[in-house]
A = this chain, B = another copy of it.
Amino acid sequence: MNTLGRIFRVSVFGESHGRGVGVVLDGVRPGLPLTVNDFSEDIRRRASGAFGTTQRREEDIPEILSGVYKGYTTGAPLTILFVNRDTDSDDYAQFKDTPRPGHADFTASVKWLDFNDPAGSGHFSGRLTLPIVAAGVVAKKMLMASVSAELTEVGGVPRSEAGQEALPDGSIREAATDAEIWNDVLQEAVNQGDSLGGIVECTVNNLPAGLGEPFFDSVESLISHAIFAIPGVRGIEFGDGFKAARMKGSQHNDPFVEVREGVALPLKNGAGGINGGLSNGCPIKFRVAFKPTSSIAKAQQTFNFTEGKMTSLRIGGRHDVCFALRTPVIVEAMTAIVLADLTAML
């Protein structure tokens, strides 16, 4: 359904090329200072504009329709609307007949009996992540913890190559920036009319121990639930992740060690900050795999279900070469939303 959460509840609505996209937040703590400017930075991060993303020509400006009075949240539902302005006139209706590989065109038509709005992928558009980012801004304000996500890999090229570089004299300098590192692989994809995926890593610091609601609402359950709502996610792993399946217990378990007189912490964080589904006080750590963007300029095979024949499809118009570039702030938002709800249950 279009609502997530038990106490802090996020409901999204809207279509890519309709009147707008938005979100209603229920259970917002009263008294949080909030203005439209608070959303700017995260909206900018999502818009990206990095080489490899479509720059939608409109600026995304949130309108607060309810729930804020004289600059503070009231406790009543907080509604944020982003009016769509840049909705081009491409004929998306063709995608009902001729579904784009990797898109929801086919499945949405089955589910909603062909009444779904196809324009710009309608309610299945990546644009729905914009109100999610807005919800994340509010969620972050409700948390003592800090949530931070970043890309660690694009098109198979890891960020670690960027990071830092040791010079001959032993000093360290910042090596190529991500933009520099990933420029080549992105350019190659653009030239080929193809697209790329990526991997995002998220870290949550300063989260208290004991969050999570057994049996079904483990911290991993709730985070993965929210993360898999982001279009294009193919996998998630916590702590040592899939590698843990190949470790021995003696390697994977995190021993408790005394860090100062009478205070003990896990020595390492193979569990990603979670034991038995409950936060353990270590940073929450997880990685998310994003598939390559579905829309590509390169010709693909598909089927015209109306005419009953094969056809070759090239998807025109502007589209991201790598949607993953936009996703760290979306992953942050989803994580903050989940944790704000869990915290409210304590």
Contacts and interface: CB of A to CB of B under 8 A. Distances in A.
B1 A110 contact: no
Number of this chain's copies in the complex: 4
A289 B242 contact: yes
A245 B324 CA distance: 9
A10 to B, nearest CB: 8
Interface string A234-248: 111111111011111
Max chain B Cβ within 10 angstroms of own Cβ: one of A3, A78, A298, A345:
A3
A225 interface: yes
Interface string A1-28: 1111011010111110011111010110
Contacts of A11: 3, 11, 24, 26, 77
A42 interface: no
In the complex, which range does the number of interface residues on chain A fall in?
A: 35 or more
A226 interface: yes
Interface string A297-318: 0101111010011100000000
Interface stretch (A165-173, A176-184, A272-280): A272-280
17 contacts: A1-B26, A2-B215, A3-B9, A3-B11, A4-B216, A7-B345, A30-B113, A69-B119, A73-B115, A74-B116, A102-B252, A107-B276, A153-B246, A155-B246, A194-B249, A234-B244, A249-B296
Closest 5 CB pairs of A and B: A104-B276, A235-B237, A195-B249, A75-B112, A264-B303
Interface of A: 1-4, 6-7, 9, 11-15, 18-22, 24, 26-27, 30-31, 63-67, 69, 72-79, 81, 99, 101-104, 106-108, 110-113, 115-117, 119, 121-124, 128, 153, 155-156, 189, 192, 194-199, 209-210, 212-218, 220-222, 224-226, 228-229, 231, 233-242, 244-258, 261-262, 264, 266-267, 270-272, 274-281, 289-296, 298, 300-303, 305, 308-310, 324, 345
